[in-house]
Amino acid sequence: MKPKRQVRKSAALPFNPIRVERELLRFPIHHLAKRGILNIDIRGKDKTGKEFRWRVSPSRNYGEPRELAYKLDTLLINRRIEEAGRSKPKVIRLGSLRAICRELGLSEGCSSDIKEALRQNAHTGITAKVSYQGQDGVERTIEGDFNRYSVIFTGERFSNGRKADAVYIILNDVYREVLNNAGTRPLDYDYLKVLPPTAQRFYELVSPQVFAAIKHKLPFAKYTYSNFCIYSALTRYTIAKQVKKQMYKVMQPHKRSGYLEAVAFEETVDSDGTPDWWIHLTPGEKAHSEFRQFSQRTNHSLETHEPFLLSGSELEAGTPSADVEQFQYNLLWDIITEAIELPSEPDP
DNA sequence: TCTTGGGGTACGCAGGGCTC
DNA sequence: GAGCCCTGCGTACCCCAAGA
């Protein structure tokens, strides 16, 4: 029968890192809510003040990409893309449907479900206008309508007439360009694998903030509840009791694993005046351990933000006091949370 | 032999109600 | 606030038949 998820408790175990591109990862594609229909249509301004747009249009025939499609993208396709090296090839071999099932830890009988989920991913269209800074420091813009990849199943033919001996994806040029140019950041692949979908998405979204909090020795990281809902395609509530209940279930695996030591909520409102909450995340031993190992393992910079701070000598010599300290902390939070302005939540 | 597709059934998880 | 229990939807598993 279905194996129960087991969230690893030991922070001392070595991590199995996966480096994922960080520019499109923050935008949602998959529908993680179990009920209802949420349109993913996000407009706003990024931290440099530029307007951005992210709209997802699922296929009418194959339906919305959901939990399984999300797993496929995050656990299998991201892995293949990473293994392909720095310059991504246009065609990537995934393996047979049964091999994909095995790799995801599922029974081989679910191959038809995998096929359906691959089709959902391949047929989901994206309308985007997003700016990002490439690894070379050059600012780039993705603007247009595209899907991320096409899929060729075993026995089907490529455009050159060759018959596919396994399942392949063909990367769309727009998506491939992002993969080739965008920066990456590490995640613990084994941890991703054991988390339920919403907890996995939470980990993907908040890990830069958690790393930043550890790096700058802050007591906790902050992330807004509204952003979590918008960027996870989850139901957004406006009543505290419902919010805490919903988030309690998302946080449980992270608290059990030791990734988070404590979680607290601070009431606020979004730009529309709708009730919102800052989620305070105190990093646990696993988060500290991840940070140490990821910092040592590679020369890549972790995706944290270097905040402006007064130097120690300035602090000692000058006026600083509790006010300056408070100012620094407020500034840090603004930088760390990226302060994305979202004019409104997506249509229900 | 390997892979795919379909149908039936059981399970997991988000969401909701409720208690302590 | 934390946690238990229930519901309903989506997913996972199992089995078997068919095709390459």
What CA–CA distance (Å, rounded) separates A191 from A83? 19
Q: What pLDDT does A65 receive?
A: 81
State which residues between 218 and 277 of chain A bring their CB within 7 Å of strand B. 234-235, 237, 242, 245-246, 249-250
What would the two tokens of residue A336 be? 């760390």
- Express as a percent the part of chain A with pLDDT over 90: 4
Residue A34 CB in 7 A reach of strand C: yes
Same domain for A30 and A177?
yes
Tokens of A52: 């951005």
DSSP assignment of A181-234 equals HB-EEEEEHHHHHHS-HHHHHHHHHHHHHHHHHHHTT-S-EEEEHHHHHHHHT-
Nearest residue: Cα versus C1' of C1? A244
**Which stretches of chain A drop beneath a pLDDT of 70?**
1-15, 34-38, 107-109, 296-348
If residue A314 lies in a helix (H) or strand (E), which one and from where to where?
A: helix A312-317
Give the nucleotide nearest to A200 (CA→C1'). B13
- What's the number of domains chain A is made of? 2
Let me know whether A325 and A177 are in one domain: no
Predicted pLDDT of residue A176: 92
CB of A240 within 7 Å of some strand C atom: yes
pLDDT at A344: 33
Which one-letter DSSP state was computed for residue A109?
A: G
**A192: Cβ–Cβ under 8 A, 6 or more apart, which residues?**
A18, A74, A75, A200, A203, A204
Same domain flag for A198 and A304: yes
**A268, A226 Cβ separation under 8 angstroms:** no
Token pair belonging to A38? 């949420």
Residue A152 and residue A291 in one domain: no
Does residue A171 sit in the same domain as residue A218? no
How many residues would you count in chain A? 348
- pLDDT at residue A68, as a whole number: 81
The domain containing residue A94 runs over which residues?
23-182
Is the CB atom of residue A266 positioned under 7 angstroms from any atom of strand C?
Answer: no
Residues A303-328 pLDDT 10s: 443 332 322 233 223 333 333 344 34
Helix (H, G, I), strand (E, B) or coil at A114: helix
How high is the pLDDT of residue A35?
61
Q: Are residues A233 and A147 in the same domain?
A: no
Cβ–Cβ < 8 Å for A339, A47: yes
Cα A257 from Cα A264, distance rounded (Å): 18
* A132 and A221 assigned to the same domain: no
Q: Which of A131, A151, A182 is the last residue of a domain?
A: A182
Same-domain check for residues A195 and A106? no
- Joined tokens for residue A226: 């509204």
Domain boundary among A149, A182, A215: A182
pLDDT per residue as tens digits for the range A245-285: 788 878 888 887 888 888 888 888 887 777 888 888 888 88
Question: Residue A70 in 3-state DSSP?
Answer: helix
